[in-house]
Chain A
Amino acid sequence: MIRLSAKHLLLLKTIIHLGSLVPLILTFYQAVNDQLGGDPVEALLHFTGIGAFNLLLLSLTVSPLAKFLKIGMLIRTRRLIGIYAFVYALSHFLSFIFFELQLEWSLLISEIIERPYITVGFAALVILLLMTATSAQKVQQRLGKYWQKLHNWVYLSALLIALHYIWSVKSDITQPIIYWVILIFLLLLRKDKFIKPLKKTKKTTKRLA
């Protein structure tokens, strides 16, 4: 087993901070100054949306990678990556409200209710919000076993985002499909996690029968 020193961890976290924040701030800066191509709103929505999905998938890669490389400390970068996934997703949602809908609140509500791809995207955001709000260690300790239950919703959130993405494109589904493949691969790495509870329920139903 390789040990990651505190120094290494700090370096990794610094890279995550910079790698997430710098592009986000730069993109907003360019969008405000009309330097983001023909339609800065569309460019910003794409950037923040894809960015959120990239970061979420990266956070789901951390634990299989830590296992594979046998570097347990790597897990300690996961929360930070997850929080940045939420930051990007929130930027995506706020960009939609402020720059796409331009604060037309009645439309925001009807869009979330009536447009399925927006409904699922919003649901994914709510899950990420709950996870971020309960990400502090103190909260984790207080919530006990419920914390893990809540944070298992991340898989649903990822699936909803993949659905939101493939549903939102006009006809060019190549890229959304690539994302689906990556996500399914990441979920398959955890198949035991999903199968165990299923087996348990089967046993209980048998016993009951």
Chain B
Amino acid sequence: MKHSKHRTQGADQHPPEGENPSSGNDSARGADPVSRRRFFAKAGAAGTALALGATSTALAAKAMEDEAFQDSWNQYFQDHYQRMTKEEVTEALARLKRIAKRNFEVDLEVANDPPIENVLFGYALNISKCKGYRKCVYACVEENNITRKPHIHYIRVLEMNNGSMDLEESDHYYDPDSVPRKGKFYLPVQCHHCENPPCVRACPTKATWKEPDGIVVIDYNWCIGCHYCVVACPYWARHFNWEKPNLPEEEIVKKTHYLGNRPRMRGVMEKCTFCIQRTRKGKLPACHEACPTGARVFGNLLDPNSEISRILRDKTVFRLKEDLNTDPKFWFYTD
């Protein structure tokens, strides 16, 4: 299967040098697109409501014609992704591009690649190779246009004590002069894309669901931010935008997907999507490419000749919290 065989095909993306997730760039212009547009929406509505005289009516009319206002208005009433017609999706994608142009002054590509037939994505991670460099963590932040400050990490590398799998004893914030440390091993955890995902069951608005290729996605425009999926997830994989995402303009990755790395807004959930914008185009996830030790294997579980299928067949593998019966598609193995 192509994903696992051509490991170097996406080599144009190098792992970042600096380990500091915050670039220190001020992005006042990268302000939350929604709140600004909401201002327009409010101004427009207020103007209409008052309708005190010709001036305000004219202002309201002008606001109605304003593209930014129209975009925010239409986006607010946008239907659920799975219920939109083809035309509505095209419209929504064009709208996202216009909004990105206005807010970040970048020409965003917002793709809508459907799942590839006969593909079920799976991930395997060799914990005897992982040395805890956290290159995957930062590559993920860059690729997925994740807020830098406050920061969100989709991948969390746990520093574990040798001889135990006790997560409570793990160190999430290890910061020694050099890794790996003696007597420790490293366990990277991200969304496990469960076959039976508790987060999908929990969501009161169906804003999150499992795609046919196994990727659990979120419609960021449908999420109401109730946190119930955070509560339900046993892998702590879902992350909330407590504040407006802070994204340096010049670092925005322009190739995006509607269900993937397009810039998000305040007050909604986000999570690892197995880099849907890359993997549905036959590329590898950013964390895979960034890994300097080759600990990661990504591929199609339905293809018996893929590397991941071979690993599941021939190696001793384990999954975290298998007793919960969520059937994760993320395996750990050792040499």
Partners in one complex: no
Binding site for A on B (CB under 8 A): none
